[in-house]
Amino acid sequence: MKLSFNMEDASQIFVGAFALAVPISFSEEAWRLGETLPFTNLIMLFILSVAFLSFFTYESLFQRNIKRRFIVFLFRIVIAYSIAALVVSLVLFCLNKLPILDDPVTAIKRIIVITMPASMGAIVVDSFDKE
Protein backbone atom coordinates (compact mmCIF):
# COMPACT_ATOMS: atom_id res chain seq x y z
CA MET A 1 0.00 0.00 0.00
CA LYS A 2 1.34 3.36 -0.93
CA LEU A 3 1.53 6.15 1.62
CA SER A 4 0.19 8.88 -0.62
CA PHE A 5 -3.17 10.10 -1.79
CA ASN A 6 -3.28 11.15 -5.44
CA MET A 7 -5.73 12.20 -8.14
CA GLU A 8 -6.44 8.59 -9.07
CA ASP A 9 -7.55 7.93 -5.49
CA ALA A 10 -9.68 11.07 -5.49
CA SER A 11 -11.30 10.16 -8.81
CA GLN A 12 -12.11 6.67 -7.54
CA ILE A 13 -13.73 8.14 -4.44
CA PHE A 14 -15.73 10.60 -6.57
CA VAL A 15 -16.95 7.83 -8.88
CA GLY A 16 -17.84 5.47 -6.04
CA ALA A 17 -19.71 8.18 -4.16
CA PHE A 18 -21.51 9.27 -7.33
CA ALA A 19 -22.55 5.69 -8.12
CA LEU A 20 -24.54 5.44 -4.90
CA ALA A 21 -25.43 9.09 -4.37
CA VAL A 22 -27.33 9.45 -7.63
CA PRO A 23 -30.02 6.78 -7.20
CA ILE A 24 -30.53 7.55 -3.53
CA SER A 25 -30.64 11.31 -4.12
CA PHE A 26 -33.56 10.79 -6.49
CA SER A 27 -35.50 9.08 -3.72
CA GLU A 28 -38.28 10.99 -2.02
CA GLU A 29 -37.80 8.73 1.02
CA ALA A 30 -34.27 10.07 1.45
CA TRP A 31 -35.53 13.67 1.17
CA ARG A 32 -38.21 13.03 3.78
CA LEU A 33 -35.77 11.32 6.12
CA GLY A 34 -33.65 14.43 5.86
CA GLU A 35 -36.64 16.48 6.96
CA THR A 36 -37.95 14.27 9.76
CA LEU A 37 -35.06 12.31 11.27
CA PRO A 38 -34.29 13.47 14.82
CA PHE A 39 -30.86 14.94 15.54
CA THR A 40 -29.88 11.98 17.75
CA ASN A 41 -30.55 9.56 14.91
CA LEU A 42 -28.52 11.71 12.52
CA ILE A 43 -25.57 11.62 14.91
CA MET A 44 -25.90 7.84 15.14
CA LEU A 45 -26.07 7.63 11.34
CA PHE A 46 -22.95 9.78 11.00
CA ILE A 47 -21.08 7.68 13.60
CA LEU A 48 -22.19 4.49 11.85
CA SER A 49 -20.92 5.87 8.53
CA VAL A 50 -17.52 6.74 9.95
CA ALA A 51 -17.31 3.41 11.80
CA PHE A 52 -18.00 1.40 8.63
CA LEU A 53 -15.57 3.55 6.66
CA SER A 54 -12.92 3.03 9.33
CA PHE A 55 -13.48 -0.71 9.53
CA PHE A 56 -13.40 -1.22 5.77
CA THR A 57 -10.36 1.03 5.38
CA TYR A 58 -8.54 -0.77 8.20
CA GLU A 59 -9.31 -4.27 6.90
CA SER A 60 -9.19 -3.78 3.14
CA LEU A 61 -7.05 -0.81 2.20
CA PHE A 62 -4.54 -0.96 5.05
CA GLN A 63 -4.78 -4.71 5.69
CA ARG A 64 -4.71 -4.15 9.47
CA ASN A 65 -1.35 -2.37 9.27
CA ILE A 66 -1.75 1.23 10.45
CA LYS A 67 1.00 1.46 13.07
CA ARG A 68 3.27 3.70 11.04
CA ARG A 69 0.48 5.06 8.87
CA PHE A 70 -2.16 6.17 11.36
CA ILE A 71 -2.30 9.77 10.05
CA VAL A 72 -2.70 8.49 6.47
CA PHE A 73 -5.41 6.11 7.71
CA LEU A 74 -7.34 8.97 9.37
CA PHE A 75 -6.83 11.21 6.35
CA ARG A 76 -8.23 8.53 4.02
CA ILE A 77 -11.39 8.23 6.14
CA VAL A 78 -11.89 12.00 6.42
CA ILE A 79 -11.27 12.62 2.74
CA ALA A 80 -13.56 9.76 1.64
CA TYR A 81 -16.43 11.03 3.78
CA SER A 82 -15.82 14.64 2.75
CA ILE A 83 -15.71 13.90 -0.96
CA ALA A 84 -18.83 11.73 -0.66
CA ALA A 85 -20.62 14.58 1.16
CA LEU A 86 -19.53 17.00 -1.56
CA VAL A 87 -20.83 14.70 -4.29
CA VAL A 88 -24.14 14.25 -2.44
CA SER A 89 -24.40 18.02 -2.02
CA LEU A 90 -23.81 18.64 -5.72
CA VAL A 91 -26.35 16.01 -6.78
CA LEU A 92 -28.99 17.34 -4.36
CA PHE A 93 -28.26 20.88 -5.53
CA CYS A 94 -28.76 19.85 -9.16
CA LEU A 95 -32.08 18.27 -8.21
CA ASN A 96 -33.12 21.43 -6.36
CA LYS A 97 -33.35 19.40 -3.13
CA LEU A 98 -30.60 21.16 -1.20
CA PRO A 99 -32.27 24.16 0.50
CA ILE A 100 -28.97 25.41 1.90
CA LEU A 101 -30.09 29.05 2.09
CA ASP A 102 -33.79 28.58 2.89
CA ASP A 103 -33.53 25.63 5.30
CA PRO A 104 -29.88 24.79 6.08
CA VAL A 105 -30.79 22.26 8.79
CA THR A 106 -32.79 20.16 6.33
CA ALA A 107 -30.02 20.50 3.75
CA ILE A 108 -27.38 19.22 6.18
CA LYS A 109 -29.66 16.43 7.37
CA ARG A 110 -30.23 15.28 3.78
CA ILE A 111 -26.50 15.34 3.14
CA ILE A 112 -25.81 13.17 6.21
CA VAL A 113 -28.56 10.67 5.32
CA ILE A 114 -27.40 10.18 1.73
CA THR A 115 -23.67 10.39 2.46
CA MET A 116 -23.79 7.19 4.50
CA PRO A 117 -24.24 4.84 1.52
CA ALA A 118 -22.33 7.17 -0.83
CA SER A 119 -19.26 7.09 1.42
CA MET A 120 -19.29 3.30 1.45
CA GLY A 121 -19.47 3.24 -2.34
CA ALA A 122 -16.59 5.69 -2.41
CA ILE A 123 -14.27 3.65 -0.21
CA VAL A 124 -15.14 0.36 -1.92
CA VAL A 125 -14.28 1.74 -5.36
CA ASP A 126 -11.11 3.29 -3.91
CA SER A 127 -10.05 -0.17 -2.73
CA PHE A 128 -10.32 -1.85 -6.14
CA ASP A 129 -6.72 -1.32 -7.24
CA LYS A 130 -5.03 -1.78 -3.87
CA GLU A 131 -3.03 -4.87 -3.11
Rounded to a whole number of angstroms, the CA Rg of the chain reads 15
- Exposure string for 22-45, b = 16+ CB within 10 A, e = fewer: bebbeeeebbebbeebeeeebeeb
Cβ proximity of 25 and 97 under 8 Å? yes
Residue 97 in any domain: the answer is: yes
pTM for this prediction: 0.88
Residue 79 in any domain: the answer is: yes
Q: For 65-110, write each residue's pLDDT tens digit.
A: 788 888 888 988 999 999 999 999 999 999 999 999 999 999 999 9
Q: Give the total number of structural domains in the chain.
A: 1
Residue 63 in any domain: the answer is: yes
Range of 66's domain?
7-126
